[in-house]
Chain A
Amino acid sequence: MRTLDVSVVTPDGPVFEGTAEMVSSKAKSGELGVLPGHIPLVAPLTISAVRVKQDGKTQYVAVSGGFIEVRPEKVTILAQAAELADEIEVNRAEAAKERAERRLAETNQSDLDQARAEYALRRAINRLDVAKHR
């Protein structure tokens, strides 16, 4: 069976490297599944889970945006932060979620702070979701 090389890289180093039969991700324009031999493609990702299927098992990776670069034999995901499902610290994610919710509840703040809190909340929820798949 044909496979793809997959790597997920962040500024703090590679998070995942391996081969896979299929990579699914959530691009801004919708769900995006990549099989070997895909045409070269670049697409921005949403804050979501990337699913890497290898040997019948699925590895979940939480990414905070970034984008995906596809070539026929290789998929590279560039994100400012990414974590494997097994490596997510649930306590920290939960604390981040509560913090973001508290901040969203405060009404007297600028649009920028509001947007930032919302962004933080989405990231925390995403991490918690992904952590369920360990």
Chain B
Amino acid sequence: MALRDIKARIDATKKTKQITKAMEMVSAAALNRAEQNTKRFTPYMDKMQEVVTSIASGSRSARHPMLASRPIKKTGYFVITADRGLAGAYNSNVLRHVYRTINERHQSPDEYALIVVGKVGLNFFKRRNMTIIDSITGLPDQPSFADIKAIASKAVGLYANETFDELYMYYNHFVSAIQSELTERKVLPLTGFEGTVSSNAAYEYEPSEEEILEVLLPQYAESLIYGALLDAKAAEHASRMTAMRNATDNADDLIGQFTLTYNRERQAAITQEITEIVGGVAALE
């Protein structure tokens, strides 16, 4: 390689490094805020959980379609991905798993329906001609509840009007800045209340348990979805940060190698020039 070409590669790699470095820092800041969002959401979710549990486990009489399993004719899948790539295995992890699961569980496209968050997921399923009933893209980095409300209540509504008979959610759960965990969670029908003993005094219900469940359960299911989205966002920022850090490290390595080659070539050129001069002088004598 000519000296000039090597020089150009070094410059190009340096520029790439600047970009990946900047993206790493942006993601780190976003991750920080995402963790704060989760913290702010926790009291709401905890309280919700507490009240729902005390009603659902406390009374045998309370019945609600969202608490009862029914025969499964169609399954809903709520898949959370990112709008952009450059986040390591973040998207492919979820998508590969969902794709495989659907192919294993269902023979025909009538047996499932997808609700997709994020451009990457939407394109993935569209290309494979899978049934998508709703999708949302372009969510902000720090989504508020209002951003997700429409699609969450639609998902819950589709269960209520029996478009599908169960709803699963797939997303990356944020474990730490360098680790996330693919999570499959059954949202509807709501389960997991049996056996949890509510510690508080029994409530009075005004006007009745059934009517409270009517308001409470959809709200609860929507918060489960919002909670998952916040979690997934944190995981997204974390994985983008890690991916960008790796890219920056790789760029450093490359720059090192190129610089070494560059210096070697330059030295070789100088040595050759000296040899030529010395040779030339010797020939004159």
The answer, among A10, A12, A44, for a CB contact under 8 Å with B216, is: A44
Do A41 and B219 have beta carbons less than 8 Å apart? no
Most chain B C-beta atoms within 10 Å of own C-beta, residue among A10, A40, A65, A80: A80
Q: Does B125 contact A (CB under 8 A)?
A: no
Do A11 and B204 have beta carbons less than 8 Å apart? no
A9: chain B residues at CB < 8 Å are 43-44, 47
- Segment at the A interface, from B1-9, B144-152, B178-186, B266-274: B144-152
A27: chain B residues at CB < 8 Å are 206
Please report the total number of A residues contacting B with Cβ < 8 Å: 26
Q: Does A88 contact B (CB under 8 A)?
A: no
Contact with A along B164-189 (1 / 0, CB 8 A): 00000000000000000000000000
A81: chain B residues at CB < 8 Å are 145-146
Do B47 and A76 have beta carbons less than 8 Å apart? yes
Q: Does B26 contact A (CB under 8 A)?
A: no
Do B206 and A29 have beta carbons less than 8 Å apart? yes
- CB-CB contacts below 8 Å: B195-231 with A: 200-207, 211-212, 214-216, 219, 222-223, 226
Q: Does A71 contact B (CB under 8 A)?
A: yes
The answer, among B145, B203, B219, B222, for a CB contact under 8 Å with A12, is: B145
Do B207 and A28 have beta carbons less than 8 Å apart? yes
Do A29 and B207 have beta carbons less than 8 Å apart? yes
Contacts A10-B145, A40-B201, A42-B206 given: A28-B43 contact, CB under 8 Å?
Answer: no
Chain A residue with minimal CB distance to B146?
A81
- CB-CB contacts below 8 Å: A1-44 with B: 7, 9-14, 27-29, 32, 39-44
Contacts A42-B55, A66-B219, A67-B216 given: A12-B41 contact, CB under 8 Å?
Answer: yes
A67 to B48 alpha-carbon distance, docked (Å): 10
Q: Does B40 contact A (CB under 8 A)?
A: yes
A41 to B215 alpha-carbon distance, docked (Å): 15
A81 to B147 alpha-carbon distance, docked (Å): 12
Do B216 and A80 have beta carbons less than 8 Å apart? no
B201: chain A residues at CB < 8 Å are 40, 71
B40: chain A residues at CB < 8 Å are 12-14
Q: Does A89 contact B (CB under 8 A)?
A: no
Q: Smallest CB–CB gap between B157 and chain A, Å?
A: 9
- CB-CB contacts below 8 Å: B65-123 with A: none
A66 to B216 alpha-carbon distance, docked (Å): 8
Chain A residue with minimal CB distance to B50?
A69
Q: Does A78 contact B (CB under 8 A)?
A: yes
The answer, among B41, B47, B215, B226, for a CB contact under 8 Å with A13, is: B41
Q: Does B51 contact A (CB under 8 A)?
A: yes
B41: chain A residues at CB < 8 Å are 11-13
A105 to B34 alpha-carbon distance, docked (Å): 40
A71 to B207 alpha-carbon distance, docked (Å): 17
Do B223 and A42 have beta carbons less than 8 Å apart? no
B226: chain A residues at CB < 8 Å are 11
Do A65 and B215 have beta carbons less than 8 Å apart? yes
Do A32 and B215 have beta carbons less than 8 Å apart? no
Most chain B C-beta atoms within 10 Å of own C-beta, residue among A40, A41, A78: A78
Do B145 and A80 have beta carbons less than 8 Å apart? yes
Chain A residue with minimal CB distance to B230?
A11
A42 to B45 alpha-carbon distance, docked (Å): 16
Spell out A's residues near B (CB within 8 Å): 7, 9-14, 27-29, 32, 39-44, 65-67, 69, 71, 76, 78, 80-81
A11-B226, A40-B202, A44-B215 known; 10 new pairs, CB 8 Å cut-off, are: A10-B145, A11-B41, A12-B145, A13-B44, A40-B200, A44-B211, A44-B212, A66-B219, A76-B47, A80-B219
Name 10 interchain pairs, CB-CB below 8 A, sorted by A: A11-B45, A12-B37, A12-B144, A28-B211, A42-B212, A44-B211, A65-B215, A69-B47, A71-B200, A78-B47
The 8 closest A-B CB pairs, nearest first, are A13-B40, A11-B145, A43-B206, A44-B215, A29-B207, A41-B204, A9-B44, A40-B203
